[in-house]
Amino acid sequence: MSANRRILVFLATLAASMLTAGGRGPLGAQPLPTEGYQLVATWKSTAPSGGVPTFGRALAIDVAEDDTVYVVDSRNNTVHHLKPGGEAIGSWTVNGVGSLLDLAVSTDRVYVLGQTGGAIHRRDGTLVRAWAARGAGVAFGPDRRVYVARLAGTSTFIDVYDVDGNQLEQWRDPNIATLSVFAVDVGPDGRVYVVADGAIYVYRSNGAGNGTASGLLRVRRAIEGITLSDVAVDAAGRVYAASPSGYLVVWSGAGPPTDVAFVNPLRLAVGPGAGLVVTTDAADFKGIVYLPDRVNLDPKAGVPWGAKSDVLGKMLTPRRVAGGAGADVVFLDRQPAVQRWSSAGQPLDLWPTSDFAADVAGGAPRPCIITGRAIRCFDVPPADDWIVEIPATGWLTAVDGDATGIAALDLADQKVWLYGRDHVLRDSWPLQLAPGDTTFFTISDVALAGNRVYLADPSAGHVDIRNLDGTRADVLPVPAGPVRVAVAGGAVYVLGRDERVWKYGLADKQLRAVWETSSDGTANDLAADAAGRVYVADAKNDRILVFQPGGAPPTDVPVPPSTKCNITTDKRAAPDRVEIGQPVTVQLVVRGACPLGDGRLDVVLVIDQSGSMMGTAMPAAQAAALSFLNELRPGAAQVSVVGFATTAEVLQPLTSDLRQIVRAVSRLTPQGQTNYIDALDRAREQYLGPAARPGVPRVVVMMTDGKPTNRLGVDKAAQDLKDTGATLYTIGFGSTIDADLLRSMATTPDLYFDAPTEAELGDVYREIARRITGVRLLQQATVVDRLPADMRYESGSSLPPATYDAAARTLTWRLTEVPATGRTMSFRVRPAQAGRRPTNVAATMTYVDATGAPGEAGFPVPEVTVTRRSIWNAHLPLLYKNRCQPQRADVVLVMDTSSSMLEPERAGSATNKLQAAVASARSFLEVTELPEDKVSIVAFDSAARVVEPLTGSRAALGFALSGLSTGVGTRIDLGLQRATAELLTARHQRNHAPVIILLTDGRPSGGSEGGALAAGRDARGLGFAVYTIGFGADADMGVLSLIAGRHDRTFFAPSAGALTQIYQQIAGKVLCEP
């Protein structure tokens, strides 16, 4: 079991123990279980029974004249040849061309493009010849010519070849500048369509061996900026384009284009017949979708080729499972279908689902599912399926059935709906037991058996047993807290928060058996049959685990762990490499999780609803967000929901009515782009409004599956949000996120969570919820850090202030009321001895946690590499100029103008630090080649300003330096952001090296250290070289080293003379080709 899984299980049982103890007294002794259970089978995918191949990643696709299909599998560099219905004809591997990018099919040839070259094959895969063509896309035209589109500089080139691969022409329109080229196709009239920069350029031959752009096809304004990845033109001249942002776009004539939502389309081709084939990399299906009518595109009519033969037998992250008819089992996974397997693990049948299903009910020969507000029971033929919808205010989250009926849970309206197998409504009743009761029941699952309905209530820590009229028949306490429930063969089976199965007698409620499901999996659901067999869906490992009675009963009953908090510590030092006497920043971190406090929280759920969340991603996110509610204390917590795409919207302001939260989550609709900034701003506004409660912990949980559309400004928006006192958690869902960015946005890096698949997203939400429900971590703590003799403590550098005992060489912090988010302490030392040196002897903490329990903890001992101090050479720039190839540069000097810069540059000096910095900056200007080089000056204190934009005027720069004035504050982050913005203007010349040189005499102020680190990373991510200079003893060299990203670009200047030498040394580096 992974560390994260162990923590999650600990937190789950810990929370459950407190819930069980709260209001009901201790659990007391329980009789030992009388049954043992053992794992008897593991169901995984079987080999597909049909002839459709399984694709690693289906990418480029084309349809031949005979309606057979050729598709590239880029995962293994294979070309597959398929029948018009998708069945395999043959395949071959393409070598020697790098990763495959595109292909085109003629009457008898297949033209393949790779990253390093091309190849020409016969239709059966036989290699004809290697091909020197290079480009992004290839197409075969009605003129029997081959067209290859490529990008060179800022120009689109179309290389024209004959059928044997000999180049005939090269087209280029000098009036068209492009930054990207993705694909090409040729229309019936010989016009060439090129996908570039989110639009389609239309080229015509000029008859003289060249072609010019004669038109531009643009998407509608509301979705401008999306990426287009492919284009296809049919015989009628209709133009189709694919956008991985979640659209298929069609230009059918002179009117505006139309677009339809489609999950993650990659490439497309016209045919077979009247249809369109599209490759997709969606979470719920990776392969080819055939749309039978390309004139009237309807993605819901799309057919994953060989739907039954290809899906039946595959098991991909199974998430819900139920007992079928007799001993059969039905289950849902990430594929758009319900499958039925026999008790022996043999696939039997399949029912395709057009929409994501939240749960499945068995108990009859044909299953039922719920999707949003609809209950659907399958029939034969499908046109006879029974479908009923609940009122618009509701939202269905669980369903179960037996031979006589169906029970569906409406979490939004807090109701249970009961239908007979004759599809007649039997009853519906509220979860609340008394009229006027507004209690929110956090029900996570439902089971129907005979004349009882069983409701899993994680917050209450029991299974709530109701009669068919809604009155309470009984309550079954579950020590671990119930997440899922199933009833069969006279027993109640509960999947607990601890991922164990707890089996109880139906009549006497006595514990019969308990066992752990998996040490390395994710138990999502369970089902049981009359023989006592139990089926557990393990989504993480793409399997269903089968258990049956057998083996020795357990000799004890698992009990919740101690109710003490789980405390963790960490310690770091930066930079990792310093010279003797240079400062090292040491940071001690205390984190952990505690049992439920009073439950008061103001939480904002920020959820990505961009186009990439189509398919199973959005329903998975909705289900995960709703599972988050199960961990809160109804009535004490307030929650808000913010959905974001191209813009963000507050779907529900802060409220304690969790019904409204369920409804808000249900309204999330995927479309558009990914605007982090607007999302963070809308979340911040929730804490500035009247609903926010003073003194109540504030938590924001932001989930996204993509990178921001606009990166610049994200860090500031995150910092503005955190400045309201909110703790920001971030979740990266899937594989296309920027984990480094999300980690830096979070209040601390450990508050970023990675959820690669739908199966892990719910776990992440639950883990975060269990972390935040403890208001405090520690009542009090004493931290003592003892330093070695070769590490000199820098007086006054500790944050928060610590007591330093020089004789004992110890730093002591006495902390009170440590919040649930933990506490960070830091200080600086200056090493006196070379070598790989520990920064401390030992650091320990004694504490009393939030439950009143005492404890002790130790911290790691970080080490740094200490080298002997180097000697600066004031004439180093001359050496660089004599030994290197000069290059042109655009340099931004970022100057600290905080009030501390008015202090003497060293003791007894008549020159203050600002005067010394200005003089050193002037010396830098003297060695630059103005006006060929360009320099800008940015000043920062509590704000930042561009004193002089990029210019080659030595006079203007000198005048700007002379006018620098000081202010309060040291906002390094704002200075770096201004510098980055200046280098992104048109004043920066592309052939000049972009450089930022930061000078400061202190550390970031206003809690902006994270923002400064992020701003440095942003600049480096844009390809800008960042140099940092710490001037004087108070400079935080650890932070400056992290901002620069490289030790050799971080400098310490103890005096004005050293500062001048450093500026000249940097000038020598900057003005030389690397």
Q: What pLDDT was estimated at residue 156?
A: 92
pLDDT at residue 1074 above 60?
no
Query: 26-78 pLDDT, tens per residue?
Result: 344 567 899 999 999 999 987 544 556 777 788 999 999 999 999 998 878 89
Q: What pLDDT was estimated at residue 13?
A: 43
Specify whether the backbone of 264 is left (phi greater than 0), alpha (psi in -120 to 50) or beta.
Answer: left
Question: Rounded to whole angstroms, how far apart are CA atoms 182 and 634?
Answer: 51
Q: pLDDT grade, residue 907 (50/70/90)? A: confident
Amino acid at 984: L
Burial per residue of 260-292, b for 16 or more beta-carbon CB atoms within 10 angstroms, e otherwise = eebbbbbbbbbbbeebbbbbbbbbbbbbbbbbe
Question: Rounded to whole angstroms, how far apart are CA atoms 1028 and 1017?
Answer: 13
Q: DSSP string spanning 646-664?
A: SSEEEEEEEES-HHHHHHH
User: Once rounded to an integer, what is the mean pLDDT over residues 657-668?
Assistant: 95
pLDDT at residue 500 above 90?
yes
Q: Which of 346, 322, 909, 327 is nearest to 338 (CA)?
A: 322
Asked if 1067 and 882 touch (Cβ cutoff 8 Å), the reply is: no
Q: Which of 271-280, 765-774, 1058-1067 has the highest mean pLDDT?
A: 271-280
What number of residues does the chain have?
Answer: 1074
Asked if 1002 and 967 touch (Cβ cutoff 8 Å), the reply is: no
pTM over 0.85, yes/no: no
pLDDT at residue 871 above 80?
no
Q: 153: exposed, middle or buried (C-beta count within 10 Å: 0-12, 13-18, 19+)?
A: exposed
Q: pLDDT grade, residue 17 (50/70/90)? A: very low
Q: Which CATH architecture has domain 601-772?
A: 3-Layer(aba) Sandwich (3.40)
Question: Rounded to whole angstroms, how far apart are CA atoms 582 and 1058?
Answer: 14
pLDDT at residue 936 above 90?
yes
Three-class SS of residue 373? Answer: coil
Query: 961-973 pLDDT, tens per residue?
Result: 877 888 888 899 9
pLDDT at residue 22 above 50?
no
Residue 898: count of CB within 10 angstroms of its CB: 23
User: Once rounded to an integer, what is the mean pLDDT over residues 107-115?
Assistant: 96
Q: What pLDDT was estimated at residue 304?
A: 77
Could you tell me what percent of the chain has a pLDDT over 70?
Answer: 91
Q: What pLDDT was estimated at residue 885?
A: 58
Question: Rounded to whole angstroms, how far apart are CA atoms 562 and 564?
Answer: 5
CA angle 57, 60, 64 (to 5 degrees): 130
Q: pLDDT grade, residue 869 (50/70/90)? A: low
Q: What pLDDT was estimated at residue 14?
A: 40
Q: pLDDT grade, residue 254 (50/70/90)? A: confident
Question: Rounded to whole angstroms, how far apart are CA atoms 693 and 688?
Answer: 10
Question: Rounded to whole angstroms, how far apart are CA atoms 867 and 23?
Answer: 61
Q: What is the DSSP letter of 477?
A: E
pLDDT at residue 882 above 50?
no
Question: Rounded to whole angstroms, how far apart are CA atoms 259 and 220?
Answer: 8
Query: 610-624 pLDDT, tens per residue?
Result: 988 887 788 889 988
Q: What pLDDT was estimated at residue 20?
A: 41
Question: Rounded to whole angstroms, how far apart are CA atoms 1067 and 1045?
Answer: 18
For residue 430, which phi and psi values (nearest 5 degrees)? -75, 155
Q: Which of 409-423, 561-575, 864-878 has the highest mean pLDDT?
A: 409-423
Q: What pLDDT was estimated at residue 719?
A: 92
Q: CATH assignment of 876-1070? A: 3.40.50.410
| 58-309 has CATH 2.120.10.30 classification | yes
Q: What pLDDT was estimated at residue 792?
A: 94
Q: What is the side-by-side strand order in the sheet with 934-940? A: 944-951, 934-940, 889-896, 993-1000, 1025-1031, 1050-1053
Identify the bridge partners of residue 217 per DSSP, sorted by sequence position. 200
Beta strands in 317-461 (DSSP E): 320-323, 329-332, 337-341, 347-352, 359-361, 368-371, 374-377, 386-389, 396-401, 405-410, 415-420, 425-430, 445-449, 452-457
Residue indicated by tokens 């020795």: 552
The helix (run of H) or strand (run of E) holding residue 804 is: strand 803-805
Q: What pLDDT was estimated at residue 381?
A: 54
Q: pLDDT grade, residue 1068 (50/70/90)? A: confident
pLDDT at residue 11 above 80?
no
Segments making up each domain of the chain, as ranges: 3-44+314-549, 58-309, 566-593+776-867, 601-772, 876-1070
pLDDT at residue 879 above 60?
no
Q: Which residue has the higher pLDDT, 899 or 875?
A: 899
Mean pLDDT of the chain: 86
306-310, 501-505, 828-832, 1044-1048: lowest mean pLDDT where? Answer: 306-310
Question: Rounded to whole angstroms, how far apart are CA atoms 353 and 368?
Answer: 11
CA angle 941, 946, 948 (to 5 degrees): 130
Q: What pLDDT was estimated at residue 1048?
A: 79
Q: CATH assignment of 3-44+314-549? A: 2.120.10.30
Asked if 1024 and 996 touch (Cβ cutoff 8 Å), the reply is: yes
Q: What pLDDT was estimated at residue 238?
A: 95
Question: Rounded to whole angstroms, how far apart are CA atoms 148 and 161?
Answer: 8
Beta strands in 174-229 (DSSP E): 183-186, 192-196, 199-205, 211-217
Question: Rounded to whole angstroms, how far apart are CA atoms 316 and 47?
Answer: 13
User: Once rounded to an integer, what is the mean pLDDT over residues 483-507?
Assistant: 95
Q: pLDDT grade, residue 1052 (50/70/90)? A: confident
Residue indicated by tokens 């998975």: 620
196-210, 859-873, 930-944: lowest mean pLDDT where? Answer: 859-873
Question: Rounded to whole angstroms, how far apart are CA atoms 663 and 645?
Answer: 19
**Is there a shared CATH topology between the 601-772 domain and the 876-1070 domain?**
yes
Could you tell me what percent of the chain has a pLDDT over 90?
Answer: 48
Q: What pLDDT was estimated at residue 843?
A: 96
Q: What pLDDT was estimated at residue 1071?
A: 66
Asked if 824 and 748 touch (Cβ cutoff 8 Å), the reply is: yes
pLDDT at residue 222 above 80?
no
Q: What pLDDT was estimated at residue 236?
A: 94
- The pair of structure tokens assigned to 83 is 């029948």
Fold exhibited by the domain 566-593+776-867: Immunoglobulin-like (2.60.40)
pLDDT at residue 941 above 60?
yes
- The pair of structure tokens assigned to 691 is 């609903």
Asked if 494 and 504 touch (Cβ cutoff 8 Å), the reply is: yes
Question: Rounded to whole angstroms, how far apart are CA atoms 497 and 20?
Answer: 13
Q: What pLDDT was estimated at residue 962?
A: 76
Amino acid at 467: N
Q: Which residue has the higher pLDDT, 6 or 444?
A: 444
103-112, 138-147, 346-355, 992-1001: lowest mean pLDDT where? Answer: 346-355
pLDDT at residue 422 above 90?
no
Q: pLDDT grade, residue 559 (50/70/90)? A: low
Question: Rounded to whole angstroms, how far apart are CA atoms 87 and 782?
Answer: 70
Q: pLDDT grade, residue 681 (50/70/90)? A: very high
Q: pLDDT grade, residue 4 (50/70/90)? A: very low
pLDDT at residue 453 above 90?
yes
Amino acid at 710: N
